[in-house]
Each structure stands twice: as structure tokens, then as C-alpha cells.
Chain A
Amino acid sequence: MQIGESEVRACAELAGNIRRDVLRMTYEKKAGFIGTSFSCAEILAVLFRSFLELDARDPDSEKNDVFILSKGHGASALYAALANIGAFGRERLFEEFNEAGYNMGVHPKRGALPGVPASTGSLGQGLGLACGVALADKIAKRGRRVFVLLGDGECNEGSVWESFMLANRYGLGKLTAIIDRNRLQSYGHDCEVLDMGDMGSKIKSFGWNVIAVDGHDCGRLIDAYSSAIGHGGGPTAIVANTIKGKGVSAFEDKVLWHYKWPEDEHMAIATSELG
């Protein structure tokens, strides 16, 4: 697929919008996970803008491609991405997120909002769900694609590797898994926890097609998604190397910002850095 500079710029702009919306949501509603949401902003922006075939006027149609956010604590980024492509009104982000009586929870709930097909938030389940959807599509001979975004810390869960094996065994070629490789978990850096090391090699050894990419470079991400979609064989994993909290220097690569939401004192600098 040939995608020009203007599309790369538009994707980067969407990533910026996602970050700005997430910043406002987490600040105003005092909830959500800003680090994980910022690290996947470009991953989501490029996917939602340039690759995911999703009719924003009918986001839950069976004809649409499917996207599952396996790292469910990144929900604020998912909601922002959906709102920015028009799946629902953007103003709802600031009214409903983490607000009692609404469905826009800290973790996504199946069917609660247009374009949210799965309930996630317990790590290690989204890849298996995506396998099931891809398998059902294969049986029904539906041509749509299934994308799933995992965190690298999430890959500590054994269930993820069970699903990697299954996807390869049953040749789920319409399935693309993106690993948000930010190397920072909720208690420490990956290398201090289980040290997942060369994740690309690990996944490749499970029979997958693997692409490693700078997960904040929209142009490279466009190439990676194109290559995943063009791959004729089994499933593809995109290992997207990212920085947790990317976009605001004070939030970057800090465990604290896995949990924390911005206070007044962070807002001026965050707003200025995000532009």
C-alpha cells in the first residue's frame, strides 16, 4: 500500500489528539492509566485511521474489522481513538469517562460503547478472544481482519503463549497482534521483572510472522501494518518499541505514571509539551 506524507502527518495528528484527550480525561475524571495510553497513541492512531476497516456510522456491524484492546487498562486511549474517528461524540469522553451511571469505565466493557467488542482489563485474555473471532471468521469465510493490542508486561501471562501456539496451529492469517513494547510494568522495568528479552524472536519461534518497529514513528507503523496485511501466511505480530508515558517528558518511563493522574501542577507543562 502506498501511503503518502500527508497520511503520516494525519496519523501523527490523530495520535496527538488521542494524547490530548487522554490527558484531559485522566485529569478531569481522576482515573485511567496515562502511561499505557500514551505509549500506544501512534499504534492506535495509525491502525484506526489507515487500516482498520470500520464504518464509524455503524461501528458494531459484523462487516467491520475487529479490534480488541487486550491491555484493557489503556481504555482511555481506545475511547479517545474511537471518538476521534467519529464512532461516538467526542464530548462524551469528558462527560462519561469514569462517571457513575455511565458505561465508559476505566476498563472496556463489551458492547458498552460503539466499537468495543470485548470486555478486557484482566490481562492475558484478549489474544485468545481474538483467536476465537478469527477462527469463527475462517469457518464462516468472512474476510475481515482481527487486530489485538497487547502490553509487553501482559505477555508474562502464560495464557498469551497458549494463544500464540493456537493461532499458528490453525493458520489464523487474518490475525494481527501488536505488542506495545514499552518495557515498563506496574512494579518495575521488564528487565527487573521477568526480562522478556527479544520478544520478536520468542514470538517468531512460535511460528508467527514478526515485524519489529519504532512504535512512535507513524511512517514505520504504516509500513508495518501494510506488511502484516500483505503477509500471505499465518498470523503476524508487530513488536512496537515504545516509551511508556511518551509525549510528556515528566511521565516518560516512570512507574509512578502507570498509576497517577495529572494534577494542576502537571497540566501546564503537559499541555505545552503536547502542543
Chain B
Amino acid sequence: MRNAFANTLIEMAERDPRVALLMAEVGFSVVEPFEKKFPDRFYNTGIAEQSLILTAAGMAIAGMRPVAYSMSCFLPSRAFEQIKVSVCYQDAPVTIVGIGAGMSYGEMGPTHHATEESALMRALPNMTVIFPSDAGELAEALRWAINSDHPAYVSFRKAPSPKLPEHGFDAMRAVPYRSGKDGAILAVGMSVAEALAAADALAAKGFGLSVWGLHTVKPLDEEAVLAACETENIFVLDEHQGWAGTAGDIASLILESGKRVRRFRDISIRGGFAGKVARYPELIEQFGLDATSVAENIASAFEGK
């Protein structure tokens, strides 16, 4: 994923002299080619996320298209008010990029997990929030965000890109991966691969599940959500806190539309910080977000458990 990030930024900077990369002391062994190629458009603000965001916002109001890069666990929370006021209130075209979406920093522990990033960033007016599912979507999301005249938050996993089926990218549209009659899994960004594996396991049990990939969680693709309701069973998969989560947005949308669903399950992180040392795959298993747990969860819903 990180290489897709670095390569896309180089491509955008070649095309557009307004593009600059600012980072807060992250990106070792990834961003150097950008620095080498564009030394006058590469800035390390030091371990200072507030300054990173303010400087980027200032560059944006002076006509540039800065990308502010740091870790997902630090940037939205440490610099939240700077993002709220100097980026979003001013509607400054800053692309904020986080590495380490959800729990993907694994054994680095809860200080390095970013399960609150979605709630924080979705709460801000003028902000578009994107969790790319794979390297291709990351590249497309960056192109879209840098070209947009408004703020965007793009956060990706600290992990190799999963191999997903070929698909197009439209920032405002969910990705329909497969269609089934019994229910629909709406999977946020990094959970798409698990959702597809869970749908395979459920198919083997005789349940046909649609799978939609939601790279963009704000704004929601309302049309896709309402289309998914035709199956009458909605399962939202999201590697973020369920409090103020995307599943809540989806539930509100469905209720307000007057659509009826029989089953709705919010499969996200509820509760505390990770406990004992655990690697990323073990963590998503602990929190019930791996393919096996998701398949069991959905099967139990159909079986009325």
C-alpha cells in the first residue's frame, strides 16, 4: 500500500505544481523518492502534527494542494481541532493521509491503533472520508482527493494490499463485488477482503450474500445502501469503533428511507482497547472481524441465534 501512496504522489506532483508533500517524521524508506524528485515540495514538520496540519492549511489557502501525511493513530486525534478549524471550517483543499487504519499497526498496541479515526473525521463538515480497500483504490482516492477543491481524509492499512477482484473506482460510489439474495455485507475499506471470504464460507452453507465495498464512508453511497436493503438483511463490517460508527449512519439512512429490513447487524469494534500482545490477524479475530467470525456471526443471525 505504501508504494502505491508514494508512486501516486510522484505522479500527481509531476502533473500539478501545486502538489506538495508534508509529513510529520514518518515515511522512512517510502517517501525518499518524492523528496529526491521534488526537494522544494517536500517538508518534514518534525514530530508535530498540529504544525503539520496548520502549515498544510496555510499552503492550501495560498493556492497549493498539500498532502499532509502521518500515522492514522496520531494525526486525526492529535491535530483534531486544527483539522476542524483550519482545514474544514476554512474548506481548505488539504488531503490528509494516514497510514495504519483501524488496528493494522497490530502488535504496536493500542497507542498505535486508530479505531476512533472514522468517528472523528466523519463528524467534520466539508470532509470526505475514504478508507481504500486495496492499492488501486488508494491511488485512485489520492488522485480524486488532490483534484478536489475540498478537504479529504484518506487512511490505509499498514499491511500489504489484499488481492481483490478487478473493479473500477468512483469516489462517491460503493463497489458491488458480488450479488446474493439472502443478505448484504457492507464492508468498510480494509474489511472488504474479509467480507468476500466470509461470503464464500456462507455460500458453502447455502446463504447467498451480496458484498458491497465502502471505501468512502462520508458521504455514504445512499443508492447502494438502499439497493442492499432489497435483500432485507444488512450486515455492516467496519474495523473501527461502533460508537458513532458508519453502521449507525447506515441504520439512520435505512430508517429514514422507510425501507424495512428483517435483520441488521453492526459488526464493528465495541469496547475497549486491545489487551495482551497480539498481531493484526489475531486482533481482528479477537474483535470478531475476521472472515470466520463474520461468517459465523451472519449464519447465527439467519439461524435466529
B125 within 8 A of A: no
A128 near B57: Cβ-Cβ < 8 Å:
yes
A132 near B50: Cβ-Cβ < 8 Å:
no
Beyond contacts A128-B53, A133-B59, A136-B64: 10 other A-B pairs, Cβ-Cβ < 8 A, are A119-B90, A124-B50, A129-B54, A129-B61, A131-B51, A131-B58, A134-B58, A135-B58, A162-B48, A166-B46
With a 10 A CB-CB cut-off, give which of B59, B62, B81, B86 has the most chain A CB atoms.
Answer: B62
Q: How far is the CA of A119 from the CA of B90 in the complex (A)?
A: 6
Q: How many inter-chain contacts with C-beta < 8 Å in the A-B complex?
A: 96
A132 touches which of B40, B61, B81, B85 (Cβ 8 Å)? B61
B62 touches which of A125, A137, A159 (Cβ 8 Å)? A137
How would residues 46 to 73 of chain A score, 1 for a CB under 8 Å from any chain B CB and 0 otherwise?
0000000000000000100010000000
By a CB distance below 8 angstroms, the chain A residues around B55 are 128, 131-132, 135, 163, 166
B20 within 8 A of A: yes
Q: Which of B1-57 contact A (CB under 8 A)?
A: 20, 40-41, 43, 45-46, 48, 50-51, 53-57
Query: Which 10 pairs from chain A and chain B are nearest by CB?
Result: A132-B58, A128-B54, A136-B62, A162-B51, A159-B50, A129-B58, A162-B48, A132-B55, A132-B59, A136-B59
How would residues 118 to 144 of chain A score, 1 for a CB under 8 Å from any chain B CB and 0 otherwise?
110110110111111111110110000
By a CB distance below 8 angstroms, the chain B residues around A89 are none
Q: Can you name the residue of chain B whose Cβ is closest to the Cβ of A166?
A: B51
Residues of A within 8 A of B (CB): 62, 66, 109-110, 117-119, 121-122, 124-125, 127-137, 139-140, 158-159, 162-163, 165-166, 169-170
Given contacts A135-B43, A139-B40, A165-B46, contact A125 B86 (CB under 8 A): yes
Q: How far is the CA of A163 from the CA of B89 in the complex (A)?
A: 20
B58 near A130: Cβ-Cβ < 8 Å:
yes
A125 near B40: Cβ-Cβ < 8 Å:
no
Q: How far is the CA of A158 from the CA of B79 in the complex (A)?
A: 12
A165 touches which of B48, B64, B85 (Cβ 8 Å)? B48
Q: How far is the CA of A122 from the CA of B89 in the complex (A)?
A: 11
Interface SS, A side = helix
By a CB distance below 8 angstroms, the chain B residues around A129 are 54, 57-58, 61, 86
By a CB distance below 8 angstroms, the chain B residues around A137 are 62
A42 to chain B, nearest CB (A): 26
B60 within 8 A of A: yes
B62 to chain A, nearest CB (A): 4
By a CB distance below 8 angstroms, the chain A residues around B85 are 119, 121-122, 125
Q: Interface size (B, Cβ < 8 Å)? A: 28
Q: Can you name the residue of chain B whose Cβ is closest to the Cβ of A164?
A: B51
B51 near A170: Cβ-Cβ < 8 Å:
no
Q: Which of B193-218 contact A (CB under 8 A)?
A: none
B248 within 8 A of A: no
By a CB distance below 8 angstroms, the chain A residues around B20 are 139
By a CB distance below 8 angstroms, the chain B residues around A124 are 50
B82 within 8 A of A: yes
Q: How far is the CA of A163 from the CA of B82 in the complex (A)?
A: 13
A166 touches which of B40, B48, B57, B81 (Cβ 8 Å)? B48
B143 to chain A, nearest CB (A): 21
By a CB distance below 8 angstroms, the chain A residues around B162 are none
By a CB distance below 8 angstroms, the chain B residues around A169 are 46
A128 near B51: Cβ-Cβ < 8 Å:
yes
By a CB distance below 8 angstroms, the chain A residues around B60 are 132
B63 near A125: Cβ-Cβ < 8 Å:
no
Q: Can you name the residue of chain B whose Cβ is closest to the Cβ of A170?
A: B43
27 A-B pairs with CB atoms under 8 Å apart are: A110-B90, A118-B61, A118-B90, A119-B85, A119-B89, A121-B85, A122-B81, A125-B54, A125-B82, A128-B54, A128-B57, A129-B86, A132-B58, A132-B60, A132-B66, A134-B58, A135-B55, A135-B58, A136-B58, A137-B62, A159-B51, A159-B54, A162-B45, A162-B48, A163-B54, A165-B51, A170-B43
A160 to chain B, nearest CB (A): 9
Q: Can you name the residue of chain A whose Cβ is closest to the Cβ of B92?
A: A110
Q: How far is the CA of A54 from the CA of B272 in the complex (A)?
A: 54
By a CB distance below 8 angstroms, the chain B residues around A131 are 51, 54-55, 58
By a CB distance below 8 angstroms, the chain B residues around A130 are 58
By a CB distance below 8 angstroms, the chain B residues around A121 are 85
Q: How far is the CA of A14 from the CA of B55 in the complex (A)?
A: 32
Q: Can you name the residue of chain B whose Cβ is closest to the Cβ of A144?
A: B62
Q: How far is the CA of A128 from the CA of B45 in the complex (A)?
A: 11
By a CB distance below 8 angstroms, the chain A residues around B89 are 109-110, 119
By a CB distance below 8 angstroms, the chain A residues around B56 are 132
B41 touches which of A110, A118, A139 (Cβ 8 Å)? A139
Q: How far is the CA of A169 from the CA of B45 in the complex (A)?
A: 9
Q: Can you name the residue of chain B whose Cβ is closest to the Cβ of A111?
A: B90
With a 10 A CB-CB cut-off, give which of B45, B50, B51, B85 has the most chain A CB atoms.
Answer: B51
Q: How far is the CA of A169 from the CA of B41 in the complex (A)?
A: 15
By a CB distance below 8 angstroms, the chain A residues around B64 are 136, 139
With a 10 A CB-CB cut-off, give which of A66, A119, A170 has the most chain B CB atoms.
Answer: A119
A33 to chain B, nearest CB (A): 18
A116 to chain B, nearest CB (A): 11
B202 to chain A, nearest CB (A): 49
Q: How far is the CA of A170 from the CA of B48 in the complex (A)?
A: 15
By a CB distance below 8 angstroms, the chain B residues around A136 are 58-59, 62-64
Q: Can you name the residue of chain A whose Cβ is closest to the Cβ of B56?
A: A132
